[in-house]
Each structure stands twice: as C-alpha cells, then as structure tokens.
C-alpha cells in the first residue's frame, strides 16, 4: 500500500526566491565574494594575505570586503565545512544590515597543528538570511508551555 502524502511532505520549491542584488566594494588586494555553485547557501570570502592560525589559537583577518546587505537581512559568517572537519578551523560572526565596514573574520583553531592560509584561500562563508525584528522586550514571571519545554542537548534521542 502506498504511503499517503500530507501537506508537510510536499516537494520543496525548486526555484530560489528573487532577492535584491548584493552591492559590495573591495579594498586594494581584496578578493570578491563568490559562490562555487549556484545553489550554495553562502558566499565564500578569502584572505587577502598569508596568515597562520596557531594550534589552539585564533587570528582576525580583515577580508577587505564591504557589503551593503538588503534591508531586513542579516549576514552570518559560517565555518567552511572542509576547514572545520579536516583541520578544526571554525569561524562565526554576525554582520548587521547597517554595517558597511570591512568584514573581519576571527578564525579559531581547535587542532593540534598550526594552519597556514595563503593569500586567496577561502576562510569563511557569508550566509545572508531574512531577519525577524523584535519590537519590545517583556520580562514575565514564566514562559508559555510548549511541547519541548526546556528539554535540549539530545533530549529527542540519538
């Protein structure tokens, strides 16, 4: 017997929604943001200079890339999966829509060896997401009940 399909199991959209053009400028020596594949979620950012991330240490790299994010969006700097899995190099950051300064990336090494980046190497990815703005903040004596409550960190099983 064939399984019934519910609306929650419908096929996802195959075409990405239209989004505004991302305007950017580059400092001298900087590399433009780019996607390796049209369907990639993030724009790769590269280091304009050679730099070494010490084992269990961190460095800040000025990419020389300035972006003008569309209204009601936020830029999230996310680790490159290959750097993370193979070398323990991670990065995280938030770019607010009003910020137009150079994007600076803090790279963290969780590995036992120094990692050398050459000028032009990919160091992070910029993922642009829609943003829900919080109007007012209200402190309450307790939060509304939910199915999940305060269960976290593996509470739903392996």
Question: Is 113 among the domain residues?
Answer: yes
Instruction: Identify whether 38 is part of a domain.
Output: yes
Number of domains in the chain: 1
In whole angstroms, give the CA distance from residue 42 to residue 118.
21
Whether 143 is in a domain gets the answer: no
Question: Is 37 domain-assigned?
Answer: yes
Beta bridge partners of 43: 126
Structural domain span for residue 69: 20-130
Q: Is the pTM of this model over 0.85?
A: no
pLDDT in tens, 57-92: 999 999 999 999 998 899 999 999 999 999 999 999
Asked, for residue 64, whether it belongs to a domain, the answer is yes
- Three-state SS annotation for 25-90: EECCCCCCCECCCCCCCEEEEECCCCEEECCCCEEEEECCEEEECCCCEEEEEECCHHHHHHHCEE
Query: Is residue 9 situated within a structural domain?
Result: no
The pLDDT tens digits of the residues spanning 98-118 come to 999 999 999 999 999 999 999
* Any domain includes 120: yes
CATH number at residue 91: 2.70.40.10
**140 lies in some domain:** no
pLDDT band (50, 70, 90) for residue 150: confident
């Amino acid at each position: 017997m064939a399984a019934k399909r519910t609306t929650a199991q419908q096929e996802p959209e195959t075409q990405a929604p239209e989004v505004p053009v991302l305007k950017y400028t580059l400092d001298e020596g900087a590399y433009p943001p780019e996607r390796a594949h049209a369907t990639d979620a993030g724009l790769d950012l590269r280091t304009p200079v050679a730099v070494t991330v010490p084992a269990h240490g961190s460095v800040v790299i000025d990419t020389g890339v300035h972006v003008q994010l569309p209204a009601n969006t936020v830029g999230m700097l996310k680790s490159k999966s290959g750097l993370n899995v193979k070398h323990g190099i991670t990065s995280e950051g938030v770019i607010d829509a009003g910020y137009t300064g150079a994007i600076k990336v803090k790279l963290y090494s969780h590995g036992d060896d120094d990692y050398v980046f050459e000028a032009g190497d990919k160091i992070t990815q910029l993922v642009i997401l829609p943003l829900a703005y919080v109007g007012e903040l209200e402190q309450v004596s307790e939060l509304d009940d939910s199915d999940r409550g305060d269960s976290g960190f593996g509470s739903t099983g392996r």
